[in-house]
Amino acid sequence: MPPLPAAGYIAAMLDHASNAPALPPEIARRRTFAIISHPDAGKTTLTEKFLLYGGAIQMAGQVRAKGEARRTRSDFMQMEKDRGISVSASAMSFDFGPFRFNLVDTPGHSDFSEDTYRTLTAVDAAIMVIDGAKGVESQTQKLFEVCRLRDLPILTFCNKMDRESRDTFDIIDEIQENLAIDVTPASWPIGVGRDFLGCYDMLHNRLELMDRADRNRVAETVKIDGLDDPKLNDLIPPHLLEKLREEVEMARELLPPLDHNAFLEGTLTPIWFGSAINSFGVKELMDGIAEYGPEPQPQDAQPRPIAADEKKVMGFVFKVQANMDPKHRDRVAFVRLASGHFTRGMKLTHVRSKKTMTISNPVLFLAADRELAEEAWAGDIIGIPNHGQLRIGDTLTEGEEVRVTGIPSFAPELLQGVRAGDPMKAKHLEKALMQFAEEGAAKVFKPAIGSGFIVGVVGALQFEVLASRIELEYGLPVRFDASQFTSARWVSGPQDQIDQLVKANTQHISYDHDGDPVFLTRLQWDIDRIERDYAGIKLSATKEMM
């Protein structure tokens, strides 16, 4: 299917541009976002339809069919194949009319919330997909809370309207109540389940009618002159038309109108109703992202924030993935460009090490295919293959000492000891663990006394993922043992106090992969004791990665 014509976009862009300060057009046309949802709500299907409309794939079903059990082109890992969950985050770029969309995939499973959090630092907006029959589910709620921490603008897509769904007002009420966000209908469904005909587009006063015969066809659009237009009598059966008129009137009275600022501040979400599998409502949602944005946003950094339209290139690593393609044992750092116009071969300063790196093989992720990125702009995600120099939280600039902030590392909630099945392979294991630590897949602590390592994760499934990856990627069977510790806290404060603390509590001290001291314990009492005994010491559950 060819990319769709982009009605009204240019006007919308000009409109945004008139709300100065204007970004250069190449940056203003970028939309970088993630999709959040509870498993099964339809994220994969929606992603596939996005790629289809973006011209990145030719046929629906291709995403699923290709690579056998792969659920989407963005899933790489063996574990995902086995379990059908999306463990790793990746990025996909495609054009939609004059816009460039960068869709960053979030891991779907709750055990990967830290990874998800970091992924969400790289986007300017999120699409929340909910199942029309199930409403707001637990994982949606969790992911929403993460978006809220960053005040991300949210667009909502209520999916599966072709099935029996809940009453439209009920769904909207539930979102408003459970998520404490205002909801404004961008479209209103006409009928439900078998009777679902399509939607009334509340923002553009037109009807979108679903074609049940062809799942890949874009809905027919009928321009109407308000809901009293006589044309409607031929298109909608009387009982559904009456209901639509009543509901839309009520919705206009009871629900807030679309306030662009409230949307940008993350306090109001527009909701579209549709059916991803029938390609219905998807284009309208994409139109919404194009029209309402936001464009690439400024990035928090020290000593100053970074504006997207700065001439000089700056970017930060939000994800590192090793061995993404088993054929090339490489490591790719996913970099969100925060400003400027990047061109291949550029020399950038790696601020943490102050070294210069020549970025000669940057990649863009166009659906499954990696392509060399000849250029990229603020808002884009590029992959930089490297041998471990690039870590999560690192900033790249054209020389200025600026560091992007707000990419935390969370204290693990589960700790286990880890040993190589073959004791002769301890060194290999250390290498593998360090790599996973740098990737952010787990916390790895080296105890101050004794041998071996302690691995910390947020969710139990991560241990399995790790064991499977170490075996698959390094050919090393490993064993996890129970650890005597349950909590980890990073130690900070004056060096003399840290030295004293370490000396007096050696059995509790480990070092993370950066060599920073970590206090391990199973008792909150211990943590309180240290904070009481060492006035200048702080034990914290998060560490800023920079």
* Residues making contact with ligand G4P (CB under 6 A): 37, 39-45, 159-160, 162-163, 275-278
Q: Does 108 belong to an annotated binding site?
A: yes
| Of 139 and 483, CB closest to ligand G4P | 139
Residue 158 C-beta: closest distance to ligand G4P, Å: 10
In angstroms, the Cα distances linking 388 to 1, 323, 331, 332, 355 are 40, 12, 7, 9, 14
Q: Does 162 belong to an annotated binding site?
A: yes
Q: Percentage helix, strand, coil, to 5, in the chain?
A: 30, 30, 40
| Of 278 and 395, CB closest to ligand G4P | 278
Q: Provide the token pair at 200.
A: 């009334």
Query: What are phi and psi for residue 118, nearest 5 degrees?
Result: -65, -35
Q: Does 109 belong to an annotated binding site?
A: yes
C-alpha to C-alpha distance for 59 and 61, rounded to whole angstroms: 6
Three-state SS for 90-157 is CEEEEEECCEEEEEECCCCCHHHHHHHHHHHCCCCEEEEEEECCCECCHHHHHHHHHHHHCCCCEEEE
Residue 37 C-beta: closest distance to ligand G4P, Å: 5
| Of 40 and 371, CB closest to ligand G4P | 40
- Which residues touch 65 (CB under 8 Å, ≥6 apart)? none
Q: Does 487 belong to an annotated binding site?
A: no
Could you give the angle at the alpha carbon of 76 between the alpha carbons of 71 and 78, nearest 5°? 90
Residue 119 C-beta: closest distance to ligand G4P, Å: 16
Q: Which residue is nearest to ligand G4P (CB)?
A: 44
Residue 129 C-beta: closest distance to ligand G4P, Å: 7
Q: Provide the token pair at 188.
A: 């209103």
- Which residues touch 320 (CB under 8 Å, ≥6 apart)? 331, 332, 333, 334, 390, 391, 392, 438, 439, 440
Q: Does 37 belong to an annotated binding site?
A: yes
Residue 529 identity (one-letter amino acid): R
Q: Provide the token pair at 225.
A: 């002159």
| Of 40 and 516, CB closest to ligand G4P | 40
CA 287 from centre of chain: 20
Q: Does 90 belong to an annotated binding site?
A: no
| Of 465 and 546, CB closest to ligand G4P | 465
Residue 50 C-beta: closest distance to ligand G4P, Å: 12
Q: Provide the token pair at 296.
A: 């690439």
Residue 88 C-beta: closest distance to ligand G4P, Å: 14
By the 8 A CB rule, do 172 and 136 touch? no
Residue 169 C-beta: closest distance to ligand G4P, Å: 21
Q: Does 105 belong to an annotated binding site?
A: yes
Run of H or E including 459 = none
| Of 163 and 419, CB closest to ligand G4P | 163
CB atoms within 10 A of CB 366: 18
Q: Does 160 belong to an annotated binding site?
A: yes
Q: Does 261 belong to an annotated binding site?
A: no
Q: Provide the token pair at 271.
A: 């909701």
Residue 42 C-beta: closest distance to ligand G4P, Å: 4
C-alpha to C-alpha distance for 125 and 265, rounded to whole angstroms: 10
In angstroms, the Cα distances linking 485 to 382, 447, 454, 479, 489 are 39, 11, 9, 17, 11
By the 8 A CB rule, do 97 and 5 touch? yes
Residue 160 C-beta: closest distance to ligand G4P, Å: 4
| Of 275 and 416, CB closest to ligand G4P | 275
Q: Does 386 belong to an annotated binding site?
A: no
| Of 40 and 514, CB closest to ligand G4P | 40
Burial 448-469 (b: 16+ CB within 10 A, else e): beeeebbbbbbbebbbbbbbeb
| Of 189 and 517, CB closest to ligand G4P | 189
| Of 277 and 501, CB closest to ligand G4P | 277
| Of 106 and 487, CB closest to ligand G4P | 106
Residue 365 C-beta: closest distance to ligand G4P, Å: 18
- Which residues touch 527 (CB under 8 Å, ≥6 apart)? 487, 489, 519, 521, 539
Q: Does 311 belong to an annotated binding site?
A: no
In angstroms, the Cα distances linking 31 to 6, 238, 286, 304, 344 are 15, 40, 10, 24, 22
Residue 441 C-beta: closest distance to ligand G4P, Å: 22
| Of 198 and 456, CB closest to ligand G4P | 198
Q: Does 42 belong to an annotated binding site?
A: yes
C-alpha to C-alpha distance for 111 and 283, rounded to whole angstroms: 32
Residue 469 C-beta: closest distance to ligand G4P, Å: 22
C-alpha to C-alpha distance for 508 and 233, rounded to whole angstroms: 75
Annotated binding site: 37-44, 105-109, 159-162
Q: Residue ranges for the binding site for GTP?
A: 37-44, 105-109, 159-162
